[in-house]
Amino acid sequence: MFLKAENVTITFGGVNANQNVNVSFEKGQIVGLIGPNGAGKSTFFKAVIGFNRVASGHIYFKDEEITNQEPYKICRKGISTTFQKAQAFPDMTLEESVRVGAYCRIKNKKEAMAKAQEMINFVGLTGKEKAKISKLNMYDRKKAELAAALATQPELLLLDELFAGLVPSEVELILKYVKKVSEELGITLLIVEHVLRVVMSLCDQVFVLENGQIIASGSPEEVANNPEVIRAYLGGDSNVAAG
Amino acid sequence: MRSVKWTKRNSIYLAVLLALAAFLIYLPIGGSRRNINIGILVFIYIALGQSWNLLSGMSGLFSIAHALFYGIGAYGMSLMLARAGSNPLVGLLVGIGANLLVALIVGMVGSKLSGLYFTMALIGIHSIFYTLAGQLTITGGWLGISLPREWQLTRKELYIIALAIAVFMTVLFQVIRSSRIGTMFVALKENPQLAASLGSDIRKWRILAVLISATMASVVGSFYAIYMMAHNAEVFNGTVSLRIMMVCMVGGVGHIFGPWVGSALIIMDEYIRGAMPTEFASLSVVIYALVLIVMALLRPQGIMGSKIFQPKEVDVRAIENLDAREKTE
Ligand SMILES: Nc1ncnc2c1ncn2[C@@H]1O[C@H](COP(=O)(O)OP(=O)(O)O)[C@@H](O)[C@H]1O
Ligand SMILES: [Mg+2]
């Protein structure tokens, strides 16, 4: 298995935000993690990248245990992420902030700049290199964050609600880049999303979280037609796939 | 190459810097002995300002007792020259060596725990050094330590060395800022969590920031010992730390020319002190406090600065707090 989370339990003040979560998938896929607000999706994400402490259970990446390792070490092993609330170095230029990601593997400044430029071009931000991050709009900021994550040269990229806060036309556009990440860069994707239409059309495999527990998993069709999922996600009154 | 936009702001920088340069050239040529001394003091605080600027402005660890590193540098020099009969190069290196050791301890505390613990470690170690320097026989206690006459330099030599140190520290600041190290320092100041998630080892960079900053301050302290030819434990005095912070905060924290502009404060302070009867000499602290309050009200980012100083906590796992804030917004 490429990524394997085994009985992962995460506790905040006595409440299990994740309880015995099992998620595993192979390399090269686009995997979805869906569930209602507060289900524990972001909590799981942050456990994978070392931000949340796993109380019990194990996480393996390429058969190597990464449970509760420091975030920077996990990044260097090849896992990168974008956060639900877009994170930035507000006072840096776009170029420099993407370069922070590039420095994960490249020590030489010139080479890191080249890598940063490559990723800025990749996400379609060419020409905005010298702009301060704080001056960019939400759409460009999300792309900037994506570029920085890609500059670390990950094998697995986690996207936490990348589409949230964007207008539908922007969602269509950024979707194009997400597909490119998978197809052109060959990076495995784990996508947390509540825009279900996106997940259903994009993913090879979907996991559904509710109240910190996995209640279903399988192909998008299987999951969409699972009565348990329909109940949990939409109160049973409409079709999940319609999003 | 990147093109530089010529803004009104740039013109102001240039005007201020030219005026300062003219004044600094005038001092050793036409200036009195007293003016040359003020010039040297200005350079000392510019160089110390760059050291503080690197640690607190660039990497975001707030150094509240920066005199620690400066004082160690001074004693490294004076002890080596006066007690070991050694030469200034050895004095300089001993100061730096001692500083690296102290910086490593403070840096390790500062990188493991939150910024608050860094401040506490700094204050703790500072008070140990301050007290020991004032008590021990080898340091000459509160009477202090005198350097052998053979190492005495002329005013003009001292002035040129001080200028060179100030320029060197400024260039060093810029070289570091534009290198990989500088990018990492700024990244961990602006968003340590994001920096960690992008693969940067925050602890390593934090410790490195303290080591570099301490080394810079050490050089200035060693110079000060030779400049004064005698000093006591007051090199560790809190007023020194306060002045360093003031110079940076008035000039603009994290800005390369912040300490240059802020050092005008030192000139002002010296002239006011000169004009006052000696019993009011300690009034400078009052002046600093007033300037600080006025600055906080009118221009909290400093004269050159664009951003208000905001120290960040070191907890790399704390990114969920940002998310939590988002949810309640
Ligand atoms: N750092 C934290 N401290 C306390 N509770 C938290 C923390 N992070 C998340 N939670 C709680 O865990 C639950 C799951 O949150 P989250 O993983 O953000 O949900 P999702 O991403 O699926 O919307 C929520 O009840 C949330 O309030
Ligand atoms: Mg979430």
> Residue B205's domain is classified under what CATH number?
1.10.3470
Tell me, what's the pLDDT at A191?
94
pLDDT tens for each residue of B168-180: 999 999 999 999 9
Q: Ligand 1: does its nearest atom lie under 6 Å from the Cβ of A37? A: yes
User: What pTM does this model have?
Assistant: 0.88
Residues A2-24: what's their mean pLDDT? Answer: 95
- Secondary structure element (H or E) that encloses residue B205, with its range: helix B202-228
Mean pLDDT score across all residues of chain A? 91
CA B324 / ligand 2 centre spacing (Å): 10
Distance (Å, whole) CA A218 – CA A200:
11
Provide the total of helices (H) and of strands (E) in chain B, helices listed first. 14, 2
Domain count, chain B: 1
Find the range with the poorest average confidence among A223-227, B155-159, B265-269, B325-329.
Answer: B325-329
Structural contact between residues A81 and A160, judged by C-beta atoms closer than 8 angstroms? yes
Task: Provide the pLDDT confidence category of residue B97 given band limits of 50, 70 and 90.
Answer: very high
Task: Provide the pLDDT confidence category of residue B66 given band limits of 50, 70 and 90.
Answer: very high
Report residue B174 as tokens: 């810029």
Query: Is B144 part of any domain?
Result: yes
Structural contact between residues B227 and B91, judged by C-beta atoms closer than 8 angstroms? no
Q: Is the pLDDT of residue B32 over 60?
A: yes
Whether the CB of A83 is below 8 Å from some CB of chain B: the reply is yes
**What whole-number percentage of chain B has pLDDT above 70?**
87
Q: Is the pLDDT of residue B46 over 90?
A: yes
Q: Could you give the angle at the alpha carbon of A172 between the alpha carbons of A174 and B328, nearest 5°?
A: 70
Give start and end residues of each alpha helix (H) in A49-167.
71-77, 94-102, 109-122, 138-151
Residue with the larger pLDDT of the pair A41 and B6: A41
Structural contact between residues B251 and B303, judged by C-beta atoms closer than 8 angstroms? yes
For helices B264-275 and B238-251, the axis angle rounded to 10 degrees is 130
Q: Ligand 1: does its nearest atom lie under 6 Å from the Cβ of B320? A: yes
Residue A60's DSSP bridge partners are A4, A65
| Cβ contacts of A54 within 8 Å, gap of 6 or more | A8, A9, A10, A47, A67, A68
Structural contact between residues B226 and B139, judged by C-beta atoms closer than 8 angstroms? no
Q: How far is CA B236 from each of CA A212, B110, B125, B239, rounded to the nearest angstrom?
A: 55, 21, 11, 8
Tell me, what's the pLDDT at A243?
41
Q: Ligand 1: does its nearest atom lie under 6 Å from the Cβ of A41? A: yes
Query: Is B48 part of any domain?
Result: yes
Structural contact between residues B301 and B178, judged by C-beta atoms closer than 8 angstroms? no
Distance (Å, whole) CA B99 – CA B50:
17
Tell me, what's the pLDDT at B211?
97
| Closest chain B residue by Cα to residue A106 | B180
Task: Provide the pLDDT confidence category of residue B309 given band limits of 50, 70 and 90.
Answer: low
Q: Is the pLDDT of residue B279 over 80?
A: no
Tell me, what's the pLDDT at A236?
45
Tell me the chain B residues in contact with residue A151 when contact means C-beta distances shorter than 8 Å: 198
Tell me, what's the pLDDT at B14?
78
| Closest chain B residue by Cα to residue A130 | B2
Q: Scanning the structure block, which residue is given the tokens 């409409």?
A: A238
Q: Is the pLDDT of residue B185 over 90?
A: yes
Instruction: Specify the amino acid at residue A236.
Output: G
Phi-psi region of A4 (alpha: psi -120 to 50; beta: other; left: phi over 0): beta
Cα A45 to the chain's mean position, in Å? 7
| Cβ contacts of A217 within 8 Å, gap of 6 or more | A23, A205, A206, A207, A208, A223
Distance (Å, whole) CA B319 – CA A79:
17
pLDDT tens for each residue of A24-47: 999 999 999 998 889 999 999 999
Task: Provide the pLDDT confidence category of residue A185 given band limits of 50, 70 and 90.
Answer: very high
Instruction: Specify the amino acid at residue B276.
Output: M
ipTM: 0.91
Find the range with the poorest average confidence among A144-148, B2-6, B73-77, B205-209.
Answer: B2-6
Q: Indicate which residue's Cα is closest to atom 3 of ligand 1.
A: A12
Query: Is B15 part of any domain?
Result: no
Query: DSSP character for A242?
Result: G
For helices B67-82 and B115-135, the axis angle rounded to 10 degrees is 30
Query: DSSP character for B257?
Result: T
| Ligand 1 atom closest to residue B321's alpha carbon, by position in its atom list | 1
Q: Which of A42, A87, A109 sits opposite B194 (nearest CB)?
A: A87
Is the Cβ pair A51, B319 closer than 8 Å? yes
Report residue A226 as tokens: 């699972």
Tell me, what's the pLDDT at A108?
96
Q: Residues of A numbered 42-71 whose beta carbons fall under 8 angstroms of chain B's beta carbons: which are they? A: 42, 46, 49-53, 70-71
Distance (Å, whole) CA B140 – CA B81:
14
pLDDT tens for each residue of A197-236: 778 888 999 999 999 999 999 999 898 888 888 887 765 4
- Secondary structure element (H or E) that encloses residue B262, with its range: helix B258-262
Residues A174-178: what's their mean pLDDT? Answer: 89
Q: Residues of B numbered 308-327 whose beta carbons fall under 8 angstroms of chain A's beta carbons: which are they? A: 316-317, 319-320, 322-323, 325-326
Query: Is B14 part of any domain?
Result: no
Percent helix, percent strand, percent coil in chain A, to nearest 5: 40, 25, 35
Burial, B277: exposed, middle or buried (Cβ in 10 Å; 0-12, 13-18, 19+)?
exposed
- Order of strands, edge to edge, in the sheet holding A213-218? A79-82, A156-160, A188-192, A30-34, A205-210, A213-218
pLDDT tens for each residue of A49-81: 999 999 999 999 999 999 999 999 999 999 999
Whether the CB of B155 is below 8 Å from some CB of chain A: the reply is no
- Sign of the alpha-carbon dihedral angle for B106, B107, B108, B110: positive
Q: Ligand 1: does its nearest atom lie under 6 Å from the Cβ of A195? A: no
Whether the CB of A129 is below 8 Å from some CB of chain B: the reply is no
Q: Which domain holds residue B71?
A: 36-328
Tell me, what's the pLDDT at B3?
45
Distance (Å, whole) CA A205 – CA A193:
13
Query: Is B296 part of any domain?
Result: yes
Structural contact between residues B139 and B145, judged by C-beta atoms closer than 8 angstroms? yes
- Sign of the alpha-carbon dihedral angle for B49, B54, B58, B60: negative
Chain A closest-CA separation from residue B308 CA (Å) = 11
- Pairing, β A30-34 against β A205-210: parallel
Least distant ligand from the CA of A160: 2
Q: Ligand 1: does its nearest atom lie under 6 Å from the Cβ of A40? A: yes
Q: Indicate which residue's Cα is closest to atom 17 of ligand 1.
A: A40
- A84-88, B140-144, B196-200, B286-290, range with greatest mean pLDDT: B196-200
Residue A80's DSSP bridge partners are A157
End-to-end CA distance of chain B: 42
Distance (Å, whole) CA B322 – CA A80:
18
Distance (Å, whole) CA A46 – CA B323:
11
Query: Is B2 part of any domain?
Result: no
**What whole-number percentage of chain B has pLDDT above 90?**
47
Tell me, what's the pLDDT at A21?
97
Burial, B279: exposed, middle or buried (Cβ in 10 Å; 0-12, 13-18, 19+)?
exposed
Query: Is B321 part of any domain?
Result: yes
